[in-house]
Structure 1
């Protein structure tokens, strides 16, 4: 009996000597919660064309609006130097750069891994898609994307003529490891040629991972007013100015833009853009 009492007392002393279990500290919880974001593979989205006047920046704006509506934080680079085009509509997140200049290449690419914003969008200068892709190749970005270090998504805005097929052929060598989307942009009433299946296969066979995206037509007056407003598309629909103050945009025109946005969102959902960004594509 004395031996049992002695054993119980020793166990009690041991229990009291152990440090009590404590709840996780707030800092630890925050770090754990942020791990998924910090470990997210950086994504570079490029929007470009080898022909001007095809609505390239409009598609870039539609993408930024779609990503923002899905709580994806994005930073943007506008290569329409020196004044910029995309920056006019998204000044808070957009930098004007020259992708063919080494310092600006460093501003974009050297920060892909270190920036807290893991999605970057480049709106290339009109007619400069091929040269921009060549710059990415020369600095080793395309090889890094092939190795799985980055997600690379390319939206190639096509012109409304058969000549655009030649652009596909020129772009093909650069995009073998990219998520490559050929975009027919009807926003400004473009009329596209009919792609003959045999001719189409001749070019598409060179880019086996290419998919087609269609941007629908937007009412002409709504398109004009949303350009003049100089705000993100979502701000125009919400009847806000660039500074967030109440605007006085037409209810009817805002409705046209809202419907157009919804159709774009359906198209971006169809190609699983969010999955591609999150590495599930």
Structure 2
């Protein structure tokens, strides 16, 4: 069964594109069929790092956004959608005016909303809004980005956390990659595989090792919710 994965969080800078890139690399490494879509018109990270797998789309253009459903229908595969900041309004309009959840259920396609958050109050409020805006039966994954915050105690004590539990939404951690190493990966325009394995890509042995360990930790988080990904 195909599944559509919308990787968002609405705020800029919380790590949505890093998670999208990791999910793309996970699919490649696990030999899982997928297609990726990038909604960032200015500097799309998925297009930059995984361009061979990624198509640009404009969510405020229905004929463009419709490619998401078409990709889910063309074969059994995961559709990864890297949502730029401030794209929830056109996304939800497209979902609502096309009754996406009803159509997806009719076609046997899963729809999963990934919410990437830092440890600030905004992330908690935006998650509450997400739960309130979508129809009952929607599926979610909540991602605490440890590279964007260390203290998620306010989230753990929040109404949003209670709602996630009630909705059976898994809550996972996105491990932190050493900041200098991540900058080298990004400045080198490297896929995570190249950063971890290609000695000629410009990263030293210890940087490559840090990327490998980081990916391994992230993959364990994905494996723990494999039913949401595979």
Alignment TM-score > 0.5, same fold = yes
**Which of 182, 196, 201 is the aligned partner of 1:223?**
182
Aligned Cα root-mean-square deviation (Å): 2.3
Displacement of 1:178 in angstroms is 3.2
Displacement of 1:271 in angstroms is 1.4
Is the alpha carbon distance of 1:175 and 1:70 closer, same or farther for their aligned partners in structure 2, counting shifts above 3 Å?
A: farther
**Which stretches in structure 1 are left out of the alignment for 5+ residues?**
1-40, 241-245
Displacement of 1:140 in angstroms is 1.9
**Which of 20, 30, 37 is the aligned partner of 1:60?**
20
Count of residues in correspondence between the two structures: 229
Displacement of 1:277 in angstroms is 4.5
Name the counterpart of 1:73: 33
Name the counterpart of 1:251: 205
Name the counterpart of 1:4: none
Name the counterpart of 1:184: 144
**Which stretches in structure 2 are left out of the alignment for 5+ residues?**
none
Name the counterpart of 2:228: 276
Structure 1, 128-137 or 149-158: larger mean CA deviation: 128-137
Whether 2:72 is the aligned partner of 1:112: answer: yes
Q: Give me the whole-angstrom Cα distance separating, in 2, the residues matched to 1:196 and 1:215.
A: 15
Q: Specify the structure having the higher radius of gyration (Cα).
A: 1
Question: Cα deviation per residue 1:83-122 (whole Å; 9 max; x = unaligned)?
Answer: 42210001111111111211202222234212x4622110
Counting helix residues as a fraction of each chain, which structure ranks higher?
2
Q: Report the TM-score when normalising by structure 1.
A: 0.74
Is the alpha carbon distance of 1:226 and 1:206 closer, same or farther for their aligned partners in structure 2, counting shifts above 3 Å?
A: same
More relative contact order in 1 or in 2 (CA 8 Å, sep 6+)?
A: 2
Equivalent position SS for 1:176: coil
Name the counterpart of 1:260: 214
Equivalent position SS for 1:71: coil
Displacement of 1:123 in angstroms is 0.2
Whether 2:156 is the aligned partner of 1:204: answer: no
Q: Report the TM-score when normalising by structure 2.
A: 0.89
Q: Give me the whole-angstrom Cα distance separating, in 2, the residues matched to 1:59 and 1:163.
A: 19
Asked whether the equivalents of residues 179 and 210 of structure 1 are also in contact (C-alpha less than 8 Å), the reply is yes
Q: Give me the whole-angstrom Cα distance separating, in 1, the residues matched to 2:161 and 2:224.
A: 25
Equivalent position SS for 1:181: strand
Is the alpha carbon distance of 1:117 and 1:237 closer, same or farther for their aligned partners in structure 2, counting shifts above 3 Å?
A: farther
